[in-house]
């Protein structure tokens, strides 16, 4: 979708919050996530690659995510240019996570070549999918972006540790639907930027990987912030009650570079 069409949709969504769900790009309205995969048992992560021929990469791929983030090589990259405006809250229980959809034009620019990616939404994992030197966090947030020219993804990941109450997460978690397939559209404005570590703590791991759910597509530029944000224990528990376990286990890093960016 080009920028003008997206903006037209976003404008329509802003004018009619209830319509936003139907207008949100790329997702079936209302239904639970199709596909029959899960995080445990016969349809769990070790079986994903055999459940559907289109998901073979989940097993056969060599650049899979998540990974354990250790032994990173210090590097330097231009600060990611994050432009995420506040947006009306459209929130869905997909059956596998709580997903917040991007209802405004939000972008992230990465690297010196200035590649820009458009946010499609963000969602949560409990516990974290990535680990740092073998240690995980209670939650991980994935801010999903697609290449504006098509074909590639960039995901910014933020760890959440137990600590102070997080007001932005509170707004989101108070609205999260308990039933798979449920979707809500609220006029409440959500500022996704407030879910990032502070500006002076934007150090991040960077590597090339995949989507962490089927079809496990290997076209993802990962940016994982080293500094976690905080959420109160009761906020983490509220999410964990709905999703006791929605994290794919770590995959081998193999021959990939793992970089640690200082800005
Ligand atoms: Zn994710």
Please choose, from the candidates 103, 102, 94, 146, the residue with its C-alpha nearest in 3D space to the C-alpha of residue 125: 94
Predicted local distance difference test score (pLDDT) of residue 35: 65
From the CA of 65, how far away is ligand 1's center (Å)?
Answer: 10
Assigned CATH class of 3-261: alpha beta
Predicted local distance difference test score (pLDDT) of residue 192: 98
Give tens-digit pLDDT for 146-189: 998 877 999 999 999 999 999 999 999 999 999 999 999 999 99
From the CA of 66, how far away is ligand 1's center (Å)?
Answer: 9
- Encoding tokens for residue 131? 């680990």
From the CA of 83, how far away is ligand 1's center (Å)?
Answer: 20
Q: Output DSSP code: residue 133.
A: T
User: What residues are paired with 100 via a beta bridge?
Assistant: 91, 122
Domain extents in the chain: 3-261
From the CA of 137, how far away is ligand 1's center (Å)?
Answer: 14
Predicted local distance difference test score (pLDDT) of residue 6: 39
Low-confidence ranges of the chain (pLDDT < 50): 1-34
From the CA of 15, how far away is ligand 1's center (Å)?
Answer: 29
Predicted local distance difference test score (pLDDT) of residue 199: 83
Q: Is residue 150 left, alpha or beta, with left meaning phi > 0 and alpha meaning psi from -120 to 50?
A: left
Residue 43 φ/ψ, nearest 5 degrees: -110, 20
Please choose, from the candidates 70, 39, 236, the residue with its C-alpha nearest in 3D space to the C-alpha of residue 141: 236
Task: Please list all protein residues whose beta carbon sits less than 5 angstroms from ligand 1, which is an ion.
Answer: 142
From the CA of 212, how far away is ligand 1's center (Å)?
Answer: 6
From the CA of 185, how far away is ligand 1's center (Å)?
Answer: 21
Residue tagged 């995959």 (tokens):
251
Predicted local distance difference test score (pLDDT) of residue 14: 39
From the CA of 125, how far away is ligand 1's center (Å)?
Answer: 6
From the CA of 218, how far away is ligand 1's center (Å)?
Answer: 14
SS3 assignment for 135-162: ECCCEEEEEEEEECCCCCEEEEEEEEEE
SS3 assignment for 37-74: CCCCHHHCHHHHHHHCHHHCHHHHCCCCCCCEECCCEE
Give tens-digit pLDDT for 139-149: 999 999 999 88
From the CA of 123, how far away is ligand 1's center (Å)?
Answer: 6
In whole angstroms, give the CA distance from residue 5 to residue 7: 5
């Amino acid at each position: 979708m080009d920028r003008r069409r997206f903006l037209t949709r976003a404008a329509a969504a802003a004018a009619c919050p209830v319509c936003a769900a139907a207008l949100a790009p790329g997702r079936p309205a209302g239904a639970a996530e199709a596909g029959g995969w899960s995080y445990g048992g016969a349809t769990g992560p070790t079986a994903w690659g055999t459940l559907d021929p289109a998901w073979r990469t989940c097993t056969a791929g060599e650049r899979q995510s998540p990974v354990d983030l250790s032994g990173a090589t210090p590097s330097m990259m231009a600060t990611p240019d994050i432009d995420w405006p506040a947006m009306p809250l459209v929130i869905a229980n997909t059956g596998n996570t709580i997903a917040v959809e991007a209802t405004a034009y939000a972008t992230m620019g990465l690297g010196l070549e200035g590649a820009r990616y458009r946010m499609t939404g963000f969602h949560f994992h409990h516990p974290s999918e990535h680990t740092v030197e073998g240690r995980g966090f209670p939650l991980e947030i994935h801010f999903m972006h697609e290449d504006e020219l098509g074909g590639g993804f960039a995901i910014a990941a933020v760890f959440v540790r137990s600590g102070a109450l997080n007001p932005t997460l509170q707004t989101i978690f108070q609205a999260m639907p308990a039933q798979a397939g449920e979707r809500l559209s609220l006029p409440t404005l959500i500022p996704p930027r407030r879910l990032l570590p502070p500006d002076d703590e934007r150090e991040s791991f960077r590597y090339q990987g995949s989507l962490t759910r089927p079809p496990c597509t290997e076209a993802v530029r990962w940016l994982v912030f080293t500094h976690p944000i905080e959420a109160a224990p009761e906020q983490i528990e509220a999410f964990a009650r709905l999703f006791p376990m929605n994290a794919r286990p770590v995959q081998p890093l193999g021959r990939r570079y793992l970089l640690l960016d200082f800005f």
